[in-house]
Amino acid sequence: MNFLTQTNAPVHTAFLSPQHVAEIVQTRGLAQVFAGMVETLRADFLRWNEFDKTARVASHSANGVIELMPIADAKTYTFKYVNGHPGNTLRGLSTVMAFGVLADVDTGVPLLVSELTLTTALRTAATSVMAAQALARPDSRVMALIGNGSQSEFQALAFHTQMGIEELRLYDIDEAATAKLMRNLAGTSLRLVKCSSAADAARGADIITTVTADKTLATIITPDMVRPGMHINGVGGDCPGKTELHADVLHMGPVFVEYAPQSRVEGDVQQMPGDFPVTELWQVLNGSATGRTSDAQVTVFDSVGFALEDYSALRFMREQAIALGIGEPLPLIPVLADPKNLFSALGAPASALAAHPPVAPMTQVTQGTQAAEHLA
Ligand SMILES: NC(=O)c1ccc[n+]([C@@H]2O[C@H](COP(=O)([O-])OP(=O)(O)OC[C@H]3O[C@@H](n4cnc5c(N)ncnc54)[C@H](O)[C@@H]3O)[C@@H](O)[C@H]2O)c1
């Protein structure tokens, strides 16, 4: 029992920082974390009909998008805040940054506030693996990895440890990104092949993973690059006006998505008519829909990232934090002896607060203070 499970006060919110998540990964090991996440994801996808689902709420701007991703079952509610700003790296910022909340449906108590930037990379790779385990040829050993930015190591190591991928064919328009990926993967048993183009990377691959960031209708994978039996794991086309696959690639084999109402707007299938056939992954997992039907078939997982994956990731990380005693308390909600006496949380009687002489207009009070510098 630790602060994550204490019940001697009405509200206990725990906090997991990126350092805490790193500590969980270091303690458990990356392969174990991926295996645990895939297992958690699969268990939750198999409960698909128990969830109150909605496509994410997106706020688009010239440079990117900010999204809220809520979901709930009868017991647990979660949401994620996440952005996608492909130009951010030029400003020294990540393309994708995220945090989220896991709350108790019964009371509304936020049980966990967590970083989700690292966790999103872990859950996205775990979701890709879950899809590939259902759709790719089991003898797949070579993967093209196109887009060698923040998500790429996670994809590489998830496929290496969970799918038996032995060789990675790497391509990024930014050679420094590929060099970074190769440095980070040095010392693993993966064979790393630096390629000169997306077509070069796709040559001889069993699986093609695209995880690029560009706010444009890109056609990184064209039909001439796709061979019979390939599985395409399209991760970066996840927003209106942002694709990676040529429309004709989507005609080369069945297309699988997470949640069709969201994927039709955000995924590579946004290019297709509204009645273009797609199969939701949970149906393949529970056996109610067919996945791959032959070794020669091309399969496409058009991933955009769905709220259920963050629900699973938050659930998994909370369980790990509880088991390992990692994390810290977050004094997020006022502690009240009388729950109707919220005013007491201001820490002074009304007479004192109301009688307080005005010092200066609010803007002048905060300007120049250390707090304001942090907030600016
Ligand atoms: N489907 C999901 O669940 C999910 C989850 C997380 C991120 N994403 C998406 O994955 C993408 C990558 O995210 P990231 O955090 O790694 O971003 P990042 O900016 O760190 O890396 C993206 C890389 O793509 C490269 N790139 C851009 N255009 C390219 C092209 N035409 N060919 C080859 N490489 C190209 C860039 O040079 C960069 O190195 C983003 O689009 C993001 O929105 C999807």
Domains of the chain in start order, with CATH, are 135-305 (3.40.50.720)
pLDDT of residue 180: 98
pLDDT of residue 1: 39
Cα of 353 from ligand 1 centre, angstroms:
51
Smallest CA-to-CA distance from 189 within 212, 159, 149 is with: 159
Q: Half-sphere exposure of residue 216, counting CA atoms within 13 Å on the CB side?
A: 6
41 pocket-lining for ligand 1 (C-beta < 6 Å): no
Using the structure block, give the residue that is written with the tokens 């088991």: 323
- Contact (CB, 8 A) for 41 and 127: yes
* Full-model pTM: 0.94
- Contact (CB, 8 A) for 327 and 14: yes
Residue 82 CA: which ligand 1 atom is closest? 6
Ligand 1 atom 2: residue of nearest CA:
305
217 pocket-lining for ligand 1 (C-beta < 6 Å): no
Active site residues: 238
218 pocket-lining for ligand 1 (C-beta < 6 Å): yes
Residue 305 CA: which ligand 1 atom is closest? 3
100 pocket-lining for ligand 1 (C-beta < 6 Å): no
- Contact (CB, 8 A) for 96 and 150: yes
295 pocket-lining for ligand 1 (C-beta < 6 Å): no
Query: CA 17, 19, 22, 27 torsion: positive or negative?
Result: negative
Long-range own/partner contacts, residues 332-340 (CB < 8 A, 24 or more apart): 332/11, 332/13, 332/110, 332/113, 333/11, 333/13, 333/109, 333/110, 335/9, 335/10, 335/11, 336/10, 339/10
Ligand 1 atom 11: residue of nearest CA:
236
pLDDT of residue 372: 47
Cα of 46 from ligand 1 centre, angstroms:
29
Neighbours of 107 (CB within 10 A): 10
- Contact (CB, 8 A) for 122 and 150: no
Residues of the chain with pLDDT under 70: 1-11, 360-376
- DSSP secondary structure string, 81-119? EEEE-TTGGGGT--S--EEEEEEETTT--EEEEEE-HHH
Per DSSP, the three-state class of 192 is: strand
